[in-house]
Structure 1
Amino acid sequence: MNTADFLSLLKQHQDKSLLFEYTKGKFVGANYHITEIKNIVIDAVDCGAGTDYWKETIVQLWESPQEKEKKEFMSAYKALGILNKVDRIKPMVRDAEIKFEYSNEAFHTAQLFVDDYSMDKNSLVLKLSVQKTDCKAKETCGIVETETETISSSKNSCAPGSGCC
């Protein structure tokens, strides 16, 4: 989901509570706050010497220890107000993918992407997911993907001087 789609979703459903499911069946607590919005630029080189460049919007979620008993979730209206205020100070890139940075005592800090969302009468639930790491230079490195697993086409495909790693 990109930033524009997220903002539009919030705008369309301002009357709903905004919930985040960070893993199947586990939700960010109602005591969460939006503590930071980051406009990130990634300027990367992969192991096959390929370059890439893209932008992301990272929204940091934090659970306040002083509000553990809180039961009412932030509304989409309030979240939209926070994001609009930030946007006036540091404009967000609308076509940048939006991710949510989160952790708690049982879940490591991660930047999670929006895998899906659902709604009911009262709530908008963003279903977040971890993006697994991957080699972007498989062809350069001689890695052949099969249906069941990824294997290297030769044992020394990432040896010094091979053009990879």
Structure 2
Amino acid sequence: MLFADFAAELAKFPEHELVFTFGDTTIGRGYHLTEVLRLTVDAVDCGGAQDHWKETVLQLVDSPAVEGRAPMSAKKVGGILRRSQAMVPLVPDSELVLEFRPVGALAAQRYHVSEIVSGAAGSLRVVTHGARTQCKAAERSGTVCGADKSAGGSSRCCAPRGASGRPRAAVRCCA
């Protein structure tokens, strides 16, 4: 989901409580939005292709449930985003990413927002899916990256492409 779409959904339902779900886990009612980040990613994949994108990251901290404490409202989170926007301009068409460390996990994990569902009793459920790693070069070439040629695989996925689209000298990053 794009940042602008997320902000627009919050504006539609200002009094609704935001409930974040991460797979089978729902963040505790006492969660805290601890940081808003604007990221610009400049990357080179194992096939030598450059890529650029922008992300808006919301970092959430799970807090123990406190009796009577409600999740943050869409209005409150929207206000935090507007104040953040005034200080660090957030990119409307950037991908929205959540960082969160589920109970029992050793480190924070990244999640992408799939959708926001208006739920019962005045809640908005933010549905996420975990970020995945990928070999973009293999996806572009339709090969299995790192596969042994003798097993029918191809290391051509890691060959940077020239202007003609043909592989240049292969790099051995995926082997």
Task: Give the structure 2 partner of residue 80 of structure 1.
Answer: 78
Residue among 143, 149, 153 paired with 1:154? 149
Which residue type is aligned with residue 117 of structure 2?
S
- The CA deviation at 1:157 is 1.7
* Residue 114 (1) aligns with residue 113 (2): yes
Report deviation, 1:139: 6.3
Identity across the alignment (%) = 33
**Aligned-pair CA distance for 1:114:** 0.7
User: How many Å separate the matches in 2 of 1:140 and 1:31?
Assistant: 43
The residue type equivalent to 2:170 in the other structure is: S
Closer, same or farther in 2 for the Cα pair 1:142/1:104, shift >3 Å? closer
Larger strand fraction of residues: 1
Contact 1:115 1:129 in 2 (8 A): yes
What is the CA–CA distance in structure 2 between the aligned matches of 1:69 and 1:79, rounded to whole Å?
A: 21
2:129 is the counterpart of 1:134: no
Distance in 1 (CA, whole Å) between partners of 2:4 and 2:133 is 25
Cα displacement (A) at 1:109:
1.2
Matches within 5 A, 1:1-165: 1-24=1-24, 26-65=25-64, 68-69=66-67, 71-107=69-105, 108-121=107-120, 122-138=122-138, 143-144=143-144, 152=147, 154-155=149-150, 157=155, 162-165=170-173
Q: Distance in 2 between matches of 1:41 and 1:54?
A: 6
Which 5+ residue runs of structure 1 have no aligned equivalent? 145-149
Deviation at 1:89, TM superposition (A): 0.8
Runs of 4+ in 1 over 6 A off after TM superposition: 139-142
Q: For the pair shown, which has the larger CA radius of gyration, 1 or 2?
A: 2
Partner of 1:147: none
SS across alignment from 2:149: coil
The alpha carbon displacement at 1:118 in A equals: 1.4
Residue 163 of structure 1: CA displacement?
A: 3.4
The two structures, once aligned, show a CA RMSD in angstroms of 2.6
CA distance in 1, matches of 2:6, 2:95: 9
Q: Distance in 2 between matches of 1:58 and 1:139?
A: 26
> Normalization by structure 1: what TM-score?
0.84
| CA distance 1:125–1:139, shift in 2 (3 Å) | closer
